[in-house]
Amino acid sequence: MGDHNVIADVSEILLALLADAIGDLGGIERPLAILDDLSGTIPISPPKLTLFLYEIAEDPASRNRANIRVEPSGADPRVGVRKPPMALVLRYLITAWGGDQLTQHKMLGRAMEALYNDAIVEGGELTGSLAGTTDSLHLTLTPLTLDQKSYVWFALQKPYRLSLNYEVRVVNLEAAARAEVRPVTARATDADLLRNRR
């Protein structure tokens, strides 16, 4: 499970995958994969593949999970419970800029190929706060209608460009709050209460 840095860590993992995918595309200038919020002008030399995180949502299928028991460890002899991690879905827009149309199409094709081949990122591919965890990131090309894509570009106040929409799930954001649980030292049943009343 990741800490508060997990969103940035996922973006860096995706950037590394995309950079590897388009790095040997050929041509005069080596294309770059960059993280960009698309608020400004994108320089088109060298050609770029932008990764834009445009939505963070809670995964509805992972809500209402049970609390996690925290066993005593080292100097802390207390048993505790903590909330389950918050399960996030991250939605990204991947857009090609610069070069001619064929170069842009090749960059998008390479991005799709890489994210299809690495549709589940786990183990040694995880970095940052996810390194060494048992988490896995599932990458899915999200089917959006042309109207839905147009809304995203309208919100950015930019003309529509051919883009890819990807979802990354489930990104677990670890809960920091922990409550101490006192051990059971005695128990009483209804039979014990009845016996004591006689």
Residue 151 maps to which CATH number?
3.30.2000.10
* Residue 38 lies inside a defined structural domain of this protein: yes
Cβ-proximal residues to 122 (8 Å cutoff; 6+ apart), any chain: 134, 135, 136, 137
Structure-token match 């051919």, residue found: 162
Does residue 51 lie in a domain region?
yes
Predicted confidence at residue 181, as pLDDT, reads 57
Coil vs helix vs strand at 32: strand
Q: How confident is the model at residue 177 (pLDDT cuts 50, 70, 90)?
A: low
Tell me the per-residue pLDDT of 67-99, one tens digit each, with 9 for 90 and over: 777 676 666 666 777 777 888 999 999 999 987
Tokens coding 173: 């954001």
Whether residue 188 contacts residue 114, with contact meaning beta carbons closer than 8 Å, is answered with no
What is the model's pTM? 0.80
In a domain, 196, yes or no: no
In this predicted structure, which of 4-13, 34-43, 67-76, 145-154 has the lowest mean pLDDT? 67-76
* Domain-embedded: residue 99: yes
Is it the case that residue 196 has pLDDT exceeding 80? no
Nearest-angstrom CA–CA distance, 172 and 65: 12
Q: Does 186 fall in a domain?
A: no
* Most confident option among 38-47, 72-81, 102-111, 180-189: 102-111
Residue 195 lies inside a defined structural domain of this protein: no
pLDDT band at residue 40 using 50, 70 and 90 as cut-offs: confident
Given the DSSP bridges, would you call strands 32-35 and 48-58 parallel, antiparallel or unpaired?
Answer: parallel
For residues 11 and 194, the model is more confident at: 11
Separation of alpha carbons 92 and 51, rounded Å: 7
Alpha-carbon distance of 156 to 171, in angstroms, equals 25
Split into its structural domains, the chain has a count of 1
Q: Could you tell me if residue 124 is inside a domain?
A: yes
In this structure, is residue 138 part of a structural domain? yes
Please answer whether residues 1 and 133 qualify as being in contact, where contact means their C-beta atoms are separated by less than 8 angstroms: yes
Confidence at residue 62, expressed as pLDDT on a 0 to 100 scale:
74
Nearest to 173 by CA among 91, 86, 90, 69: 86
Element (H, E) at 139: strand 136-141
Alpha helices, H only, the chain: 6-22, 101-117, 146-156, 190-197
Compute the mean pLDDT over every residue in the chain, rounded to the nearest whole number.
85
Range of the domain at 18: 6-71+80-177
Give the pLDDT confidence of 123-154 residue by residue, as tens digits: 889 999 898 888 999 999 998 888 888 888 89
Calculate the alpha carbon distances from 145 to 94, 126, 148, 172 in Å.
16, 31, 5, 28
